[in-house]
């Protein structure tokens, strides 16, 4: 790397080559490895483990970039930084994709059997695990692969067993029959938050249930006529006089003949439907509660596959019929026998499986649950008392709202891929033992269900650090972690569970900050998904634009409010162009560092532009540190972009060219350039690691260091403040801009040399004399002369007013007087408008009375300045008009 010939560096930054080479350099040097025995204060982040179902998407790229920026920044800022990588076994999701693959081969998991199926799934998981980690490397991730973890590895599995047993012993895990969300396709229970509701256009059927042994009937409205065979009662509201006389009577279920009572229950809404509800406790959560209150035994009529159960309660011709086919058929039968009185269109919400979008079947079923309320107490307190802070803070409200209305968590899944529940049943007595190990494999069989995948991810911050052993080096050094970085979509699924579990089992909040960023969407604002075909693969973007370009662009799009981020391919040109700008600016500096010595710059030999850029750099460092600490990471990107491009490239490098040509200034300018480039690269490094490392390696350094990634991050330095020179440079810039403006607006060719007469007094005059060379070169001025401030304006000349001085540009034969007058009038108008507004304020007694002193003084000063400048412009216009 160090043998590179600077003059042969390509003019276009080659991201691909650089990234590969640099990442390898970091890996070989073991720069990402965290030391648990370090004296430095710890900074740790555990990655939200990506599912092993697939590959990296843009959301991971954003999430990973932000974590890497925080990790790299803190590593450079004196912390022992650990970013712990890993993946999630993603129980239901992974099983689904593997089953899908098997289906392609004409197989089901049952054909393979549990053991063989798990083998297949492990294979799949391992392949994707390495693919995902490889992609994270392409992203420049500075994570410590020696600590890589998997939610289903030995350590995490031990943690799961430990937690399960302890919660069970504490009475916080129980097993029981409740209505759960059952996915007939996944063949498993799923939790409430894995169920999404969709509005569907359905029907409300009114069915007549005849009274037993007497004429008359009660009419019931239902959206699910196929469940009538599971009815155990008809319920009406106790205050509903319409049905007063029917309560206590018996009706006969149509098509079935079974007899059920008419009961009263508060749950019934008099105004909905007919005011009479069929009660089906086995297939509806509300009905289940009603049934329980009235001591009614549930009757199952739909099975786990969503088919009509082949049982006595269901007429034989419907046995094993799909629930929707059965519905059609039942409607026909009811209609034929005149039990169906009315059909109405009815919009209602239907639960869908988040994973496969199959309509959920509420099913009474025996499952395992975590009693959440006792655990939620501390999780609520931790956020309320500030032990855990959400950024942006508004998410705390969502979190607390959910926690405060927490419902028990159904944790058992009827799957194979996952942590098998550590409950064992005696083969003969059926006695159940909950323990980490099977008490006697000959006599006990393990519960066949596995745990919800989020159960293990909920332990992630501490299961990865050695838990249940809290004496490991990593646990002691790196737990609790510093911050959790994730999207808002998994606050309930994951963040909430980590907080409850962390507090319960480690007595500490697993992280003190939850940094929530927006979600990545396509250019139309739609969520990216494979089925929509609107996904953008981050690796393709990296191939096309470069990793640092991707990282910079994504970072720049992060707002403090955590808005969703719309991206399209072309947006990454922003980052690519910036990377190229950095590359070329650096190339320029490096090409001009030949012959530089090993000394730091000489403070006494600094020029105005030198001091100005040092001042800018210093201020930028201050702002950048402040912004990173406050998680305003998008702002960091903007500030650095503005500093690097607009200050460093557009102005300082241009002035440096002049100084480099001056033998007296050359050496010190080189030293300043070296320092400024070095510090600028360091500031950029956390966002754009490869490019900055690559260039830094080429700087002829006067200190020892192995890599930029372990250099100190620049901080504000009181000794590098140069306010006076900063002001003087502003005068320089303004003067040059005015001259350029004159040239352009009067259509004076750049090849044409012009002269300028500067009319200034006092300090401004002194400054002009110093900055003359810069003005000459950057504004392409041939000669500069000096004159009296109040002398008359020569004919045929353009002019500009800068600060308190005037610049006169004689343009005999070149100038269109009318144009110049117009130009000046435009400027004057602007000033006059501003002045009117300011004077309006100053004439307002209340403003003068109430506004802060500094603002009033500022306003006065500005009015003075405007008066001066507009006076000068008036004078110019007058002299031009006379001559015209």
Please give the residues from 752 up to 781 whose contact with RNA meets the rule CB under 7 A: none
User: Could you tell me the smallest distance in angstroms from the CB atom of residue 594 to RNA?
Assistant: 13
Residues 587-616 that bind RNA (CB under 7 A): 587-588, 591
Residues 795-834 that bind RNA (CB under 7 A): 826, 833-834
Residues 352-381 that bind RNA (CB under 7 A): none
Task: Out of 360, 411, 451, 585, point to the residue binding RNA (CB under 7 A).
Answer: 585
Contact by Cβ (8 Å): 746, 823: yes
Residues 436-495 that bind RNA (CB under 7 A): 492
Residue 851 in contact with RNA, rule: CB under 7 A:
yes
25 or 399: whose CB is closer to RNA? 399
Integer CA distances (angstroms), 89 to 53, 420, 465, in order: 8, 13, 18
User: Could you tell me the smallest distance in angstroms from the CB atom of residue 567 to RNA?
Assistant: 8
User: Could you tell me the smallest distance in angstroms from the CB atom of residue 737 to RNA?
Assistant: 4
Both tokens of 180, joined, read 């759960």
Q: How far apart are CA 342 and CA 361, in angstroms?
A: 25
Pick from 159, 151, 156, 146: which is nearest to 84 by CA? 146
Residue 342 in contact with RNA, rule: CB under 7 A:
no
The site map against RNA for 126-145 (x = CB under 7 A) is --------------------
- 360 alpha-carbon distance from chain centroid: 30
Residues 260-299 that bind RNA (CB under 7 A): 267-270, 272-278, 284-287
In degrees rounded to 5, what are phi and psi of residue 438? -65, 120
36 or 623: whose CB is closer to RNA? 623
Which residue has tokens 């001259």?
A: 739
Strand partners, 809: 798
User: Could you tell me the smallest distance in angstroms from the CB atom of residue 24 to RNA?
Assistant: 22
178 or 847: whose CB is closer to RNA? 847
The answer to whether the peptide bond before residue 8 is cis (omega within 30 degrees of 0) is no
Pick from 544, 555, 547, 481: which is nearest to 518 by CA? 555
Q: How far apart are CA 619 and CA 723, in angstroms?
A: 11
- Number of residues lying near RNA (CB under 7 A): 87
Residues 224-253 that bind RNA (CB under 7 A): 224
The answer to whether the peptide bond before residue 262 is cis (omega within 30 degrees of 0) is no
Contact by Cβ (8 Å): 112, 73: no
The site map against RNA for 697-736 (x = CB under 7 A) is ----------------------------------------
User: Could you tell me the smallest distance in angstroms from the CB atom of residue 393 to RNA?
Assistant: 9
| CA atoms 359, 364, 368, 372: torsion sign | positive
Task: Out of 335, 537, 584, 697, point to the residue binding RNA (CB under 7 A).
Answer: 584
Burial, 267: exposed, middle or buried (Cβ in 10 Å; 0-12, 13-18, 19+)?
Answer: middle
52 or 228: whose CB is closer to RNA? 228
147 or 224: whose CB is closer to RNA? 224
508 or 521: whose CB is closer to RNA? 521
Task: Out of 38, 130, 337, 349, point to the residue binding RNA (CB under 7 A).
Answer: 349
Strand partners, 390: 514
Task: Out of 836, 867, 874, 878, point to the residue binding RNA (CB under 7 A).
Answer: 836
47 or 66: whose CB is closer to RNA? 66
360 or 459: whose CB is closer to RNA? 360
Residue 847 in contact with RNA, rule: CB under 7 A:
yes
Contact by Cβ (8 Å): 806, 734: no
Q: How many CA atoms lie within 13 A of 366 on its CB side?
A: 4
431 or 857: whose CB is closer to RNA? 857
User: Could you tell me the smallest distance in angstroms from the CB atom of residue 808 to RNA?
Assistant: 19
Q: Which stretch binds RNA (CB under 7 A): 158-166, 531-539, 559-567, 764-772?
A: 559-567
Strand partners, 754: 781
Alpha helices in 389-449 (DSSP H): 395-404
Contact by Cβ (8 Å): 496, 403: yes
User: Could you tell me the smallest distance in angstroms from the CB atom of residue 514 to RNA?
Assistant: 15
User: Could you tell me the smallest distance in angstroms from the CB atom of residue 845 to RNA?
Assistant: 8
83 or 631: whose CB is closer to RNA? 631
Q: How far apart are CA 258 and CA 254, in angstroms?
A: 8
User: Could you tell me the smallest distance in angstroms from the CB atom of residue 563 to RNA?
Assistant: 3
Task: Out of 573, 597, 600, 857, point to the residue binding RNA (CB under 7 A).
Answer: 573
Task: Out of 116, 176, 197, 266, point to the residue binding RNA (CB under 7 A).
Answer: 197
Q: At what angle do helices 608-629 and 633-641 cross, to 10 degrees?
A: 170
255 or 640: whose CB is closer to RNA? 640
Residue 709, C-beta contacts closer than 8 angstroms, at least 6 positions apart: 26, 31, 72, 75, 76, 142, 685, 689, 693
277 or 509: whose CB is closer to RNA? 277
Q: Which stretch binds RNA (CB under 7 A): 248-256, 331-339, 836-844, 871-879?
A: 836-844
The count of other CB atoms within 10 Å of the CB of residue 656 is 25
46 or 268: whose CB is closer to RNA? 268
88 or 287: whose CB is closer to RNA? 287
| CA atoms 757, 761, 763, 764: torsion sign | negative
User: Could you tell me the smallest distance in angstroms from the CB atom of residue 724 to RNA?
Assistant: 24
Task: Out of 770, 855, 882, 884, point to the residue binding RNA (CB under 7 A).
Answer: 855
Burial, 289: exposed, middle or buried (Cβ in 10 Å; 0-12, 13-18, 19+)?
Answer: middle
How would you classify residue 595: left for phi > 0, otherwise alpha for psi between -120 and 50, otherwise beta?
A: left
Residues 34-93 that bind RNA (CB under 7 A): none
Residue 850 in contact with RNA, rule: CB under 7 A:
yes
Residues 165-194 that bind RNA (CB under 7 A): 192-193
Helix, strand or coil for residue 874? helix
Residues 505-534 that bind RNA (CB under 7 A): 525
Residues 400-419 that bind RNA (CB under 7 A): 401-402, 405
Residues 209-228 that bind RNA (CB under 7 A): 221-224
Pick from 701, 612, 698: which is nearest to 652 by CA? 612
Q: How far apart are CA 513 and CA 390, in angstroms?
A: 6
Q: How far apart are CA 284 and CA 281, in angstroms?
A: 6
Helix, strand or coil for residue 515? strand
Residues 614-653 that bind RNA (CB under 7 A): 632, 634-635, 638, 645, 649-650, 653
Strands 797-802 and 188-190: unpaired
User: Could you tell me the smallest distance in angstroms from the CB atom of residue 584 to RNA?
Assistant: 3
User: Could you tell me the smallest distance in angstroms from the CB atom of residue 179 to RNA?
Assistant: 10
Task: Out of 348, 384, 427, 532, point to the residue binding RNA (CB under 7 A).
Answer: 348
Three-state SS letters, 86-154: EEECCHHHHHHHHHHHHHHCCCCHHHHCHHHHHHHHHHHHHHHHHHHHHHHHHCCCCCCHHHCEECCCH
User: Could you tell me the smallest distance in angstroms from the CB atom of residue 494 to RNA?
Assistant: 13
Could you give the dihedral angle defined by the CA atoms of residues 217, 222, 225 and 230, in that order, rounded to the nearest 10 degrees?
Answer: -80
Residues 668-697 that bind RNA (CB under 7 A): none
Q: Which stretch binds RNA (CB under 7 A): 68-76, 128-136, 742-750, 802-810?
A: 742-750
26 or 492: whose CB is closer to RNA? 492
């Amino acid at each position: 790397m160090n043998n590179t010939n600077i003059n042969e560096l390509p003019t276009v930054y080659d991201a691909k080559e650089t990234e590969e080479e640099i990442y390898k350099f970091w890996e070989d040097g073991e720069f990402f490895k965290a030391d648990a025995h370090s004296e430095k204060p710890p900074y740790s982040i555990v990655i939200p483990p990506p599912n092993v179902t697939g590959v990296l998407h843009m959301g991971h790229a954003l999430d990973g970039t932000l974590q890497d920026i925080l990790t790299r920044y803190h590593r450079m800022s004196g912390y022992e930084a650990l970013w712990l990588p890993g993946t999630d076994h993603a129980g239901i999701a992974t099983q689904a994709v593997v089953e899908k693959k098997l289906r392609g081969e004409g197989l089901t998991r049952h054909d393979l059997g549990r053991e063989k199926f798990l083998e297949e799934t492990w294979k799949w998981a391992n392949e994707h695990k390495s693919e995902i980690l490889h992609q994270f490397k392409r992203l420049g991730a500075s994570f410590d692969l020696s600590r890589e973890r998997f939610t289903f590895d030995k350590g995490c599995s031990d943690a799961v067993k430990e937690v399960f047993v302890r919660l069970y012993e504490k009475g916080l895990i129980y097993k029981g029959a409740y209505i759960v969300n059952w996915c007939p396709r996944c063949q498993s229970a799923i939790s409430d938050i894995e169920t999404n509701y969709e509005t569907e256009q359905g029907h409300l059927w009114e069915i007549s249930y005849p009274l037993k042994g007497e004429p008359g009937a009660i009419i019931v409205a239902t959206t699910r006529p196929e469940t009538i065979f599971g009815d155990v009662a008809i319920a009406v509201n106790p205050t509903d006089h319409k049905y007063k006389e029917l309560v206590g009577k018996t009706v006969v279920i149509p098509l079935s003949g079974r007899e059920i009572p008419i009961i009263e229950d508060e749950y019934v809404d008099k105004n909905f439907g007919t005011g009479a509800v069929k009660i089906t406790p086995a297939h509806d959560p509300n009905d289940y509660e009603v049934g329980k209150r009235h001591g009614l035994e549930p009757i199952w009529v739909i099975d786990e596959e969503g088919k009509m159960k082949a049982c006595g309660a269901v007429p034989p011709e419907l046995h094993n019929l799909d629930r929707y086919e059965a519905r059609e058929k039942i409607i026909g039968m009811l209609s034929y026998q005149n039990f169906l009185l009315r059909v109405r269109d009815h919009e209602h919400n239907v639960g869908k499986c988040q994973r496969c979008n199959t309509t959920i079947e509420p099913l009474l079923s025996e499952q395992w649950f975590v009693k959440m309320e006792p655990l939620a107490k501390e999780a609520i307190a931790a956020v309320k008392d500030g032990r855990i802070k959400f950024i942006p803070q508004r998410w705390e409200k969502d979190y607390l709202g959910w926690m405060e209305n927490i419902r028990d968590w159904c944790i058992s899944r009827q799957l194979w891929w996952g942590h098998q529940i550590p409950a064992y049943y005696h083969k003969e007595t059926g006695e159940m033992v909950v323990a980490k190990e099977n008490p006697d494999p000959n006599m006990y069989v393990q519960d066949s269900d596995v745990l919800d995948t989020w159960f293990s991810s909920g332990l992630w911050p501490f299961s990865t650090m050695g838990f249940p052993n809290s004496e490991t080096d990593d646990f002691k050094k790196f737990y609790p972690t510093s911050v959790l970085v994730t999207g808002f979509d998994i606050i309930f699924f994951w963040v909430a569970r980590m907080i409850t579990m962390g507090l319960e089992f480690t007595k500490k909040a697993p992280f003190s900050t939850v940094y929530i960023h927006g979600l990545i969407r396509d250019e139309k604002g739609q969520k990216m998904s494979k089925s929509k075909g609107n996904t953008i693969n981050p690796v393709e973007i990296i191939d096309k634009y470069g990793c640092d370009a991707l990282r910079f662009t994504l970072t720049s799009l992060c707002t403090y409010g955590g808005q969703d981020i719309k991206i399209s391919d072309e947006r990454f040109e922003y980052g690519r162009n910036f990377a190229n700008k950095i590359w070329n600016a650096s190339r320029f500096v490096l090409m001009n560092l030949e012959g530089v010595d090993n000394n730091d710059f000489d403070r006494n030999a600094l020029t105005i532009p030198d001091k100005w850029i040092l001042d800018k750099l210093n201020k930028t460092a201050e702002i950048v540190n402040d912004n990173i600490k406050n998680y305003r990471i998008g702002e960091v990107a903007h500030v650095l972009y503005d500093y690097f491009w607009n200050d460093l490239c557009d102005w300082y490098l241009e002035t440096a060219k002049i100084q480099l040509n001056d033998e007296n200034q050359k050496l010190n300018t080189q030293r300043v350039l070296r320092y400024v480039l070095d510090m600028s690269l360091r500031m950029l490094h956390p966002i754009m690691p490869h490019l900055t490392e690559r260039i830094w390696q080429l700087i002829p350094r006067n200190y020892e260091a192995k890599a930029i990634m372990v250099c100190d991050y620049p901080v504000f330095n009181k000794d590098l403040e140069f306010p006076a020179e900063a002001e003087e440079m502003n005068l320089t810039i303004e003067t040059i801009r005015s001259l350029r403006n004159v040239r352009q607006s009067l259509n004076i060719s750049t090849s044409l040399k012009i002269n300028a007469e500067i009319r200034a007094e006092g300090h401004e005059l002194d400054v002009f004399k110093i900055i003359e060379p810069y003005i000459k070169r950057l504004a392409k001025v041939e000669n500069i002369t000096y004159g009296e401030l109040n002398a008359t304006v020569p004919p045929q000349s353009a002019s500009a007013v800068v600060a308190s001085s005037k610049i006169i540009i004689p343009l005999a034969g070149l100038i269109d007087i009318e144009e110049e007058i117009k130009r000046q009038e435009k400027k004057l108008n602007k000033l006059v408008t501003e002045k009117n507004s300011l004077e309006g304020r100053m004439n307002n007694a209340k403003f003068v009375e109430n506004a802060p002193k500094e603002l009033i003084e500022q306003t006065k000063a500005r009015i003075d300045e405007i008066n001066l400048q507009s006076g000068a412009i008036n004078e110019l216009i007058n002299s031009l008009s006379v001559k015209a």
